[in-house]
């Protein structure tokens, strides 16, 4: 059995989907598990995490971080992606359409808090995106997640989606890559991080690279990934490169090494799902349709 078969088999056998080996189900790892199983044609195994997500949707359309915490609602975006991916499979159901509609309505009501622009910070603090927690500022990762949800559900041209694209482009560093969402503070450019860079490039798939910062971000990931051992960063980095049609030839070897590392430590559904999604490359259901068309 190769590493990927092992990972997918373990994921299909899971009866809870948490961040760590023994932890209870949480929305993000459950949604990613469903997406990974669907990516590898394990539809029946995906039915359980998808059903769990449906059971977690609140009256306002949102999903909290787990069954015990109904807020914040940032994982709602990931549930939308899982339900949307199920549409094209044997699991297709009108229940998903209703759930998606309610979730998207909630997503469009949420926006980051405006922060007065000053010359201390380098980014444009007036662009609307999504916060981690309602009432706070817009940051890269929740904005990328919600942009992906809008793109996958046919809202690519919605003004909020266009704002999100502008925000992500604005938060890319001059030298490439991005972090959680600050660029320059007190005159110094901050350091980029692999995971948010990968997620931002994933969400920006198919968008014009007017400033050249997307290409610089691709270059950054190509430099960093060969020495990246951590699972989440490696997987999001590869997904970002796949979305930008720059998947490195060594991807499978890197993922195999990461899988051996986490399997020796008591794997979680979260990391297994990320490995399986990253291994699906350009066919990953997280990659927006515009890019999928371009690569097919």
Partner 1 sequence: MTIDTAPQSLTRKERQFDRRSLLIGTGAALAGLVSFPYLRRALQMKAAVFVASNQRYDGPLEQTIREGLIASGLEPTGLHGKKVLLKPNLVEPSRLAPQMTTHPAVILAAAEVFRGWGAHVVVGEGPGHVRDTEMALIESGVDEALDTARLEFADLNYSQLGWVKNSGRASNLKGFYFPRQVIEADLIVSMPKMKTHHWVGYTAALKNLYGVIPGIKYGWPKNVLHYAGIPESVYDINASLPKTIAIVDGILAMEGDGPIMGSAKPMGLLVIGGNSTAVDATVGRIMGFDPARISYLKLAANRLGPVDEHCVEQRGETWQSVAHPFTIIDSPHLQELRAPGVLISSWGLPKRAGCQLACRAPAAQVGV
Q: How far is the CB of 188 from partner 1 (least distance, A)?
A: 5
In this complex, which beta carbon is closest to partner 1, that of residue 57 or of residue 197?
197
In this complex, which beta carbon is closest to partner 1, that of residue 134 or of residue 209?
134
Q: How far is the CB of 239 from partner 1 (least distance, A)?
A: 13
Q: How far is the CB of 154 from partner 1 (least distance, A)?
A: 28
3-state helix/strand/coil string of the chain = CCHHHHHHHHHHHCCCCCCCCCCCCEHHHHHHHHHHHHHCCCHHHHHHHHHHHHHHCCCCCCCCCECCCCCCCCCHHHHHHHHHHHHCCCCCCHHHHHHHHHHHHHHHHCCCCCCCCCCCECCCCCCCCCCCCCCCCCCHHHHHHHHHHHHHCCCCCCHHHHHHHHHHHHHCCCCCCECCCCCEECCEECCCEHHHHHHHHHHCCCCCCCCCHHHHHHHHHHHHHHHCCCHHHHHHHHHHHHHCCCCCCCHHHHHHHHHHHHHCCCCCHHHHHHHHHHHCHHHCCCCCHHHHHHHC
In this complex, which beta carbon is closest to partner 1, that of residue 115 or of residue 289?
115
Q: How far is the CB of 115 from partner 1 (least distance, A)?
A: 5
Residue 9 backbone phi and psi in degrees, to 5: -60, -45
In this complex, which beta carbon is closest to partner 1, that of residue 131 or of residue 176?
131
In this complex, which beta carbon is closest to partner 1, that of residue 113 or of residue 215?
113
Given the rule CB under 8 A, which residues bind partner 1? 19-20, 23-24, 26, 65, 68-69, 72, 113, 115-116, 118-121, 123, 125, 131-133, 135-137, 139, 141-142, 179-182, 185-188, 190-191, 193-196, 228-233
In this complex, which beta carbon is closest to partner 1, that of residue 206 or of residue 267?
267
In this complex, which beta carbon is closest to partner 1, that of residue 137 or of residue 158?
137
Q: How far is the CB of 41 from partner 1 (least distance, A)?
A: 28
9: its two tokens: 């088999």
Q: How far is the CB of 229 from partner 1 (least distance, A)?
A: 6
Q: How far is the CB of 62 from partner 1 (least distance, A)?
A: 15
């Amino acid at each position: 059995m190769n590493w990927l078969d092992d990972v997918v088999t373990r994921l299909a056998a899971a009866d809870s989907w948490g961040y760590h080996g023994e932890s209870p189900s949480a929305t993000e790892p459950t949604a990613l598990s469903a997406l990974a199983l669907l990516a590898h044609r394990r539809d029946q195994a995906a039915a359980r995490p998808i059903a769990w997500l449906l059971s977690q949707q609140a009256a306002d359309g949102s999903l909290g971080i787990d069954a015990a915490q109904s807020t914040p609602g940032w994982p709602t975006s990931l549930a939308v992606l899982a339900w949307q991916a199920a549409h094209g499979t044997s699991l297709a159901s009108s229940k998903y359409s209703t759930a998606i509609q309610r979730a998207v309505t909630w997503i469009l009501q949420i926006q980051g808090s405006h922060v007065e622009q000053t010359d201390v910070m380098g980014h444009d603090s007036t662009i609307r995106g999504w916060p981690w927690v309602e009432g706070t500022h817009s940051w890269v990762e929740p904005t990328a997640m919600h942009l992906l949800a809008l793109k996958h559900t046919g809202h690519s041209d919605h003004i909020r989606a266009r704002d999100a694209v502008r925000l992500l482009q604005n938060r890319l560093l001059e030298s490439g890559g991005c972090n959680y969402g600050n660029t320059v503070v007190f005159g110094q450019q901050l350091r980029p991080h692999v995971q948010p860079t990968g997620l931002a490039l994933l969400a920006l798939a198919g968008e014009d690279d007017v400033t050249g910062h997307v290409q610089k971000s691709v270059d950054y990931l190509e430099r960093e990934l060969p020495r990246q051992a951590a699972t989440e960063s490696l997987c999001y980095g590869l997904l970002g490169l796949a979305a930008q049609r720059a998947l490195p030839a060594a991807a499978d070897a890197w993922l195999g090494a990461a899988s051996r590392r986490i399997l020796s430590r008591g794997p979680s559904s979260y990391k297994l799902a990320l490995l399986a999604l990253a291994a699906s490359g350009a066919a990953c259901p997280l990659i927006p349709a515009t890019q999928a068309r371009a690569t097919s």
